[in-house]
Amino acid sequence: MRMDMAKGLLTVQGLSTTDLAGLLSRQLNSTVLDKTALAGRYDYTLHWMPDESQLAMFKGLPSGQHEVDSTSAPESSGSSLFNALQEQLGLELRPQMGPEQILVIDHVETPPEN
């Protein structure tokens, strides 16, 4: 799998729809589940116009990745990520309520010294 992601551009080779759902979960800061039942890996390029919350994600990238400044950002289709997914890839994101696992920490103590 090869993936290049910049502001408003996602180019992938050999990405499954499950992996795409994981990328979208991080990009949207919300759980995205793959319910396509599509098997296999796909190559594609997706262009969209990031909103302010998505742009903020590029300000603190993990080490090893570099930020693409606005002067070198790719031309965007002007579509939101939701519209771009449907128009360019034929995929639709549908909001749904459902159970989700969460971890709750209700107490923390400093470990005793040895």
The whole-number pLDDT of residue 49 equals: 84
Q: Output DSSP code: residue 92.
A: -
The pTM is what? 0.63
What letter represents residue 70's amino acid?
S
- With 0-12 / 13-18 / 19 or more C-beta atoms within 10 angstroms meaning exposed / middle / buried, residue 28 is middle
Place of tokens 């039942």: 37
Q: Name the residue among 84, 90, 81 with its Cα closest to residue 50.
A: 81
Segments of the chain with pLDDT less than 50: 58, 60-76
The whole-number pLDDT of residue 103 equals: 87
Q: Is the dihedral of CA 82, 7, 3, 102 positive or negative?
A: negative
